[in-house]
Amino acid sequence: MISRCYAHADSGSATVSGLGATGGLVGANNSVRKKQVPMIRFCWAEVNVSSTHPNHSGINPADNGNPYNIKYGGIVGCNENGTTFDSHASGNISEGDRVGGLAGCTIDGAIIRCWAAANVSQGISSTAWEGGIGGLTGRVDGKLPPVWAGSKAVVLS
């Protein structure tokens, strides 16, 4: 669990850049273990998040045919099988294919009581894979983590 954390640069704007799942605090909030749901709670990020290769759309065979350059969010790049709650983000979130102010994507996860005040822009998009862009999360898919015992991924803000 990540709790009560804060990312900010006192001398100006901080930038986090990466290739893949990239977030202002965490790249990926996920777990493959049953009934162990990773959590991010009471966190705040005031950072800029971008790709190190904004035009790279080569296919990553280890990621279900998605491009390497996806999943960018103000708090977390991909909230997969995880829960993020009572958190917020601000900054500029850019590049990639799944781009959101708080999370690039939420797959089999939950976002609860969160908000984002971010400028969000996609760097690549294609109909060959499932992307998305949003003020809070770029893409929501799947079901809730086991601890929530639900049937559909959820975003409650």
Residue 14 — pLDDT band, cuts 50, 70, 90? confident
Tokens of 35: 């009934």
Residue 29 scores a pLDDT above 70 = yes
Structure confidence by residue, pLDDT tens digits, 107-145:
888 898 999 999 999 887 766 677 889 999 999 888 776
Q: Residue 73: its pLDDT value, please? A: 94
Domain positions in the chain: 2-156
Q: What is the pTM of this model?
A: 0.84
Q: Residue 122: its pLDDT value, please? A: 87
Taking residues 51-68, report their average pLDDT: 71
Q: Residue 12: its pLDDT value, please? A: 57
